């Protein structure tokens, strides 16, 4: 559900969380993206950082350059004319994934949890086109939605201390890709050889909020030899 007016939460003395709705949904997230783009277009230096989420936008500002009431007025001015601010055309990235075995240690468990075969889980997961709702958790980590309800699965009861770089996991209606090795509690279905985050690249994150992702199953034998296709994004 989208709110008719922004709702605010103070986050310390120089950040404001702007909430635009409840739950995970594409309509709310589109509103977040438009507000992000609109405020970014009107940058004057008073706003130091904008961080979009599923249903909210974190606005980090300089209180010596703009007061909180003035900041809210600026936000509400953009909110009232959101349709004027259209984010750039989203990229559509095809992400190769080697599913199962050492690449996807939770694939079998997910299949049994839903009374499906592993092939059916792979088919469901790779049949959807996902929206990048936000980037977070670790640098370049894309939160994607929504997973087909047939394979929506709770997080692991015990998170892993190490999840390999490139691991593709699901949690409830979300799916995501671990850009770097890190702890994690999502159910791991497979792994991609694609590099999602590279600090030497500009921008360092391959995906941006609003982009689209499709997963392409590949054979395990292709993993080490896979090469990026320049036209895949």
* pLDDT band with cut points at 50, 70 and 90 for residue 227: confident
Does pLDDT of 102 surpass 50?
A: yes
Residue 233 lies in a domain: no
- Domain containing residue 157: CATH number: 2.40.100.10
CATH code of the domain covering residue 61: 3.30.1360.40
In a domain, 107, yes or no: yes
Q: Would you call the peptide bond into 203 cis, given omega within 30 degrees of 0 as the criterion?
A: yes
CA distances from 75 to 5, 16, 20, 43, 196 (A): 10, 11, 12, 12, 32
Looking at the predicted structure, is the pLDDT value of residue 87 above 90?
A: no
Predicted TM-score (pTM) of the model is: 0.84
Q: Which of 62, 84, 106 is the last residue of a domain?
A: 84
Q: Show the domain range for 150.
A: 92-222
pLDDT score, position 89: 84
Which pLDDT belongs to residue 229? 63
Q: How confident is the model at residue 7 (pLDDT cuts 50, 70, 90)?
A: very high
Residue pair 100/108 in contact by the 8 Å Cβ criterion: yes
**Residue where one domain finishes, among candidates 42, 62, 84:** 84
Residues 102 and 215 in one domain: yes
In this structure, is residue 232 part of a structural domain? no
Q: Please check the confidence at residue 231 and state whether its pLDDT lies above 60.
A: no
Eight-class DSSP state of 88: P
In whole angstroms, what is the distance from residue 105 CA to residue 109 CA? 8
Q: What percent of the chain has pLDDT over 70?
A: 98
Residues 101 and 66 in one domain: no
- The answer on 124 and 59 residing in a single domain is no
Residue 221: pLDDT band with limits 50, 70, 90:
very high
Total tally of structural domains belonging to the chain: 2
139 and 60 within one domain: no
**Domain assignment of residue 195, yes or no:** yes
């Amino acid at each position: 559900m989208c709110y008719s007016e922004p709702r605010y939460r103070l986050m310390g003395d120089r950040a404001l969380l702007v909430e635009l709705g409840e739950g995970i949904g594409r309509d709310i997230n589109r509103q977040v993206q438009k507000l992000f783009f609109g405020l970014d277009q009107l940058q004057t230096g008073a706003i130091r950082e904008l961080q979009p989420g599923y249903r909210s936008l974190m606005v980090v500002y300089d209180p010596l350059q703009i007061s909180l009431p003035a900041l809210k007025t600026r936000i509400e001015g953009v909110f009232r004319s959101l349709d004027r601010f259209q984010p750039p055309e989203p990229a559509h990235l095809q992400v190769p994934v080697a599913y199962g075995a050492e690449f996807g240690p939770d694939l079998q468990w997910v299949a049994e949890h839903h009374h499906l075969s592993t092939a059916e889980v792979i088919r469901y997961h790779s049949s959807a086109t996902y929206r990048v709702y936000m980037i977070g958790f670790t640098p370049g980590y894309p939160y994607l939605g929504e997973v087909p309800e047939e394979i929506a699965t709770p997080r692991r009861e015990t998170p892993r201390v190490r999840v390999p770089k490139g691991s593709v996991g699901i949690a409830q209606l979300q799916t995501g890709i671990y850009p770097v090795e890190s702890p994690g509690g999502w159910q791991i279905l497979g792994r991609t050889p694609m590099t999602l985050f590279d600090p030497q690249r500009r921008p360092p994150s391959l995906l941006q909020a609003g982009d689209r992702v499709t997963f392409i199953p590949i054979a395990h034998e292709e993993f080490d030899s896979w090469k990026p296709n320049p036209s895949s994004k």
